[in-house]
A and B are shown apart, each in its own frame.
Chain A
Amino acid sequence: AQSVSQHNHHVILSEAASLELGCNYSYGGTVNLFWYVQYPGQHLQLLLKYFSGDPLVKGIKGFEAEFIKSKFSFNLRKPSVQWSDTAEYFCAVNPRDYKLSFGAGTTVTVRA
């Protein structure tokens, strides 16, 4: 069965610091990759996605992610975080059969 592993459970950083959240998945075939974010009190929303093409994907709010096929990784990055980036971040994968497999989530706390 496929699985998704997020490296950090909780990350705390200061405003303007850089953020990188690790995500690895185990699945041998072609997959779609996603990062979702849940801000406090809000819905899960899509940050960015990778289906094919350029492995460096840009999403909303200054986030980007890089797909490295050889490492089965899809790490999320943001060069300079803001207090408003405090949220829980989820990496998710689907092998093109629609259902999503999620990682356990990483809570990011940005201190002003």
Chain B
Amino acid sequence: EAGVTQFPSHSVIEKGQTVTLRCDPISGHDNLYWYRRVMGKEIKFLLHFVKESKQDESGMPNNRFLAERTGGTYSTLKVQPAELEDSGVYFCASSQGFKQFFGPGTRLTVL
């Protein structure tokens, strides 16, 4: 069974640019989550989709972040415009129940 995949694995952009991260969950998983880890700090929840609907987006930092989940399959997280403090590792996870399976993460560096 394929795991959660994320693309790209690394992204280096300049402040003010736009970046789009993609997550492909495990097939059949209705729940999809985005988390972020800023260097040296804890992994923090960003948002939770159930199928194509946003169930909980309480962790989204501000309106520069936009998440979508087209047709309840893959999800994208767009940061526009990117700021220096957006640097970190962005994790995606999926689940059917409470056990979440994580992707490898996307390391975003904003210069």
Interface on A for B, CB 8 Å cutoff? 4, 32, 36, 42-46, 49, 51, 90, 92, 94, 96-105
Instruction: A46 to B104: give the CA distance in the assembly, Å.
Output: 13
Residues of B49-66 at the interface with A, using a CB-CB cut-off of 8 Å, are 55-56, 59
Contact, CB under 8 Å: A104 / B41: yes
Contact, CB under 8 Å: B102 / A102: no
Distance of A24 from chain B, by nearest CB (Å): 14
Contact pick for B42, options A32, A97, A103, CB 8 Å: A103
Question: Interface size of B by Cβ–Cβ distance < 8 Å?
Answer: 25
- B10 interface residue per 8 A CB criterion: no
Instruction: A4 to B44: give the CA distance in the assembly, Å.
Output: 11
Give chain B residues whose Cβ lies under 8 Å from the Cβ of A49.
98-99
**Given A43-B104, A105-B42, are A99 and B98 neighbors across the interface (CB < 8 Å)?**
no
Contact pick for B95, options A4, A90, A98, A103, CB 8 Å: A98
**Given A43-B3, A43-B103, A46-B99, are A98 and B55 neighbors across the interface (CB < 8 Å)?**
yes
Instruction: A32 to B93: give the CA distance in the assembly, Å.
Output: 17
